[in-house]
Amino acid sequence: MRRVVSLFLPHLAIERLRRLERAAPQPAEALPLQLPVDDEPGACSVPRRGGWRPGARWARAGEMPRGEIAAQIATMPAHARPPMRELGRRSERAEHPFRMRADASVPSARSDLPSPSPAAMDTAPIALIGKVGRREEVVSACAAATALGITIGMAATHARALVSDLDFRPADPDADAALLERLARFGVRRWSPIVAATPPDGLWLDLTGCAHLHGGEERFCRRLQAFCRRAGFTARVATADTPGCAHALARFGPADLTIVPPGATAHALAPLPVAALRLQPAALLAARRFGLDRIADLLPVARGPLARRLGLPAITRLDQALGGAAEPIIGIEDIDAPSVERRLLEPIGTAGAIAQVMQDMLDDLSTVLQARGLGVRTLRLVGLRVDGTEQTVGVGTSRPTREVPHLLRLLKLRIERIDPGLGLEQFRLVAPHTEHLDATALGAVLAGEVLARDPARLVDIVAGRIGSHAVYRIAAVPSHVPERAAIRADPGAPPGDWPAWRRPIRLFDRPEPLFGVIALLPDQPPRRFEWRGRPHRIVAGDGPERIHGEWWRRDAEMWGVRDYFQVEDEDGGRYWVFRRGKGVEGETGDLSWWLHGVFA
């Protein structure tokens, strides 16, 4: 079942400014005036490494001991005590460097990190002024400004007259949208693969199938709130079956954290106001005129009369919130994939014209890849038809490359899969999967040495014709069990080393049982067996080769034993057969015979 998390940041614009103020370097406070200290007062018998300076009125030699001087000074009132210089000290004692008092005006060494609590940032009331239509209005206000009577939507002149000394600043929607995009990209890396921004102050996170990775929905929501608190943002979080329900509860719900159980969407939406459905102002005015204050008032009304009163978009929003209409979440892409685009003056539909567009776009994409030092592993070509539909084809490479002729040859194999319809008027070539590509060393080629040919191009062409799943390389695996000793690997991967023992040319994925076996236990090969309904009489055999089970996989293989034999029948066929068990102890196997491969 689908589960969506809605993150609402009610004071995003103001808290963004607070973060900028905290990160900006603060001017150093003016230091008090200090008189210069004469470190060379002339010839003196008193050492100059601290202590008492001669000549001071309170430090004349022979008058009284230091203890009596300190006792006499302690009896004086604070305003009458002598300054430090009159006591004869060279300088005042310095404060301990690791025992400094906390001062909010001194910037921290980690100035990019937020303060522990957003409430600590509201040092002064602040309101943001934006232009709505032809007049300036208050578009955002902090809690302290709201307590002074400033409300969102109030005219800027009225707000300035109401609180003259309030900190009014211009709003910056572009900066807020950029911050939301940064949060969404961070969420794609850390929270969910599908994260979408809901401007101007929220995010949608599709938590379907990945809630268990965060310890459940409740734990994830609490961790999300804790993250926003550390980042300096006030956050409200809601989880529901639909994006519309989660969006409404995050903004109009009774608590900062709301988790709706699966199937309880209508019950959770019923007490919320109609404004939670993201309706237009005209629809909200009509709902207020007809006395429809809550969503519960809309549920029993028939769709036809309700559409005539509020409009068809209001019905669509209601169905989306209840789950009756689909509302897809288009997530943001985490990686800025290299891409090029072509807009044509006239639509095209022939294979030659499409191939020419492919070549031009590959030339431009190669320049972009070369500047970034990347090579293509996957290419996706998207063509937009005149009727608005898209045609998408893709190719892949076994190794990173940016050679235009090779990539063009791969794309031409996909032209027959493109349906131009009435014509294609726009193309976009994207490289969603790229890898770092270094320069190729040509010293051996210039010296005349013969290099081994790279099979990557051949692999790409064959895979483009018959499919990438049909091209693979057999790679060895360190296992004694024959059916586990080889796997299908990437055709571009190195072959690796194979074991020295002999194995049949054709090895079955699963051993096949043998019937009617005649053999002398425990160490002799079979003299006769039946395989696939045909009897075989053995004239020669070699073995046994004992293979033990891999006890670290499961307990059933701890005592498992196979004795393999290479046998040859009277017709010249050579087979690889084995017996389960040692032939003596029943725990090692049931003494059944199996055929595992064919030599010739």
Across 194-242, the runs of DSSP E, i.e. the strands, are 195-198, 202-206, 236-240
pLDDT given for residue 117 in this prediction: 45
Using the predicted structure, report yes or no on whether residue 210 has a pLDDT greater than 90.
no
pLDDT of residue 57: 57
> Is the same domain home to 129 and 266?
yes
Tell which of 310, 334, 358 closes a domain: 334
Task: Enumerate residues 6+ apart whose C-beta is below 8 A from 114.
Answer: 19, 22, 230, 231, 232
- Judgement on whether residues 549 and 591 belong to the same structural domain of the protein: yes
Average pLDDT, the chain: 81
The count of domains in the chain is 3
- Is 67 a member of any domain? no
What pLDDT sits at residue 575? Answer: 93
Inside any domain, residue 500? no
Of 291, 318, 334, which closes a domain? 334
pLDDT digits over 313-359, tens only?
A: 999 999 999 988 888 888 887 667 888 999 998 999 899 999 999 99
Residues 289 and 434 in one domain: no
**From CA 172, how far away is CA 93, in angstroms rounded?**
49
Q: Tell whether 330 and 344 lie within a shared domain.
A: no
pLDDT tens digit sequence for 412-468: 988 988 999 889 999 999 998 888 886 665 555 566 655 556 677 777 777 777 777
pLDDT value at position 110?
Answer: 34
Decide which of 133 and 92 is more confident: 133
Q: What percent of the chain has pLDDT over 70?
A: 81
263/159 same-domain check: yes
What does the block give as tokens for 270? 């019923």
376 in the same domain as 297: no
Four-CA torsion 585, 586, 588, 594, nearest 10 degrees: 120
pLDDT number for residue 356: 93
Residue 582: per-residue pLDDT: 82
Domain that holds residue 428: 339-443
* Whether residues 246 and 268 fall in one domain: yes
Rounded CA separation 250/465 (Å): 51
* pLDDT value at 384 more than 50: yes
- Tokens encoding 249: 């509860």
pLDDT in tens, 78-121: 666 776 656 655 444 555 555 444 343 333 333 333 443 444 44
Mean of pLDDT values over 540-569: 85
CATH number for the domain that contains residue 122: 3.30.70.270
Strands 236-240 and 257-259: parallel
Distances (CA, A) of 403 to 136, 302, 366: 56, 62, 7
User: What is residue 249's predicted lDDT score, i.e. its pLDDT?
Assistant: 93
Examine residue 150 and state whether it is found in any structural domain, yes or no. Answer: yes
Interhelix angle for 281-289 vs 312-322, to 10°?
90
Same domain, 141 and 278: yes
Considering the domain architecture, whether residues 354 and 266 belong to the same structural domain is answered as: no
Average pLDDT over residues 63-77: 73
In a domain, 102, yes or no: no
Same domain, 367 and 294: no
Residues 312 and 407 in one domain: no
For the domain that residue 358 is a member of, what is the CATH number?
3.30.1490.100
At 241-265, the pLDDT tens digits run 999 999 999 999 999 999 999 989 9
Task: Check residue 241 and give its pLDDT.
Answer: 92
**Per-residue pLDDT for 125 more than 80?**
yes
Strands 4-8 and 390-401, bridge-based pairing: unpaired
- Could you report the per-residue pLDDT of 12-23, keeping only the tens digit for each? 988 888 888 876
479 or 415: whose pLDDT is higher? Answer: 415
Residue 558 has pLDDT above 80, yes or no: no
Tokens of 382: 């998207």
Kindly state the average pLDDT of the residues 113-130. Answer: 60
Contact 573, 600 (CB under 8 A): yes
Q: Is the pLDDT of residue 364 over 90?
A: yes
Q: Express each pLDDT in 34-62 by its tens digit.
A: 444 444 545 544 444 444 444 455 555 45
Q: Which of 443, 462, 482 is the last residue of a domain?
A: 443
d(Cα 271, Cα 293) in Å, to the nearest integer? 9
pLDDT at residue 106 in the model:
35
Question: Mind listing the pLDDT tens digit for each residue in 265-306?
Answer: 999 999 999 999 999 989 999 999 988 899 999 999 888 888
Lowest mean pLDDT among 202-211, 473-482, 574-583: 473-482
Cα separation, 70 vs 58, in Å, equals 10
pLDDT of 182 higher than 50: yes
Question: Which amino acid type is present at position 563?
Answer: D
Identify whether 530 is part of a domain: yes
Average pLDDT over residues 518-537: 90
Q: What pLDDT is attached to residue 509?
A: 82
Distance CA 497, CA 134 (A): 76
pLDDT-derived band at 222 (thresholds 50, 70, 90) equals very high
Residue 581: band (very low, low, confident or very high) from pLDDT cuts 50, 70, 90:
confident
- The pLDDT of 407-416, averaged and rounded, is 90
- Residue 396: partners with Cβ closer than 8 Å, 6 or more residues away: 377, 378, 379, 433, 460, 463, 468
Please give the pLDDT value at position 257. 92
229 with 321, same domain?
Answer: yes
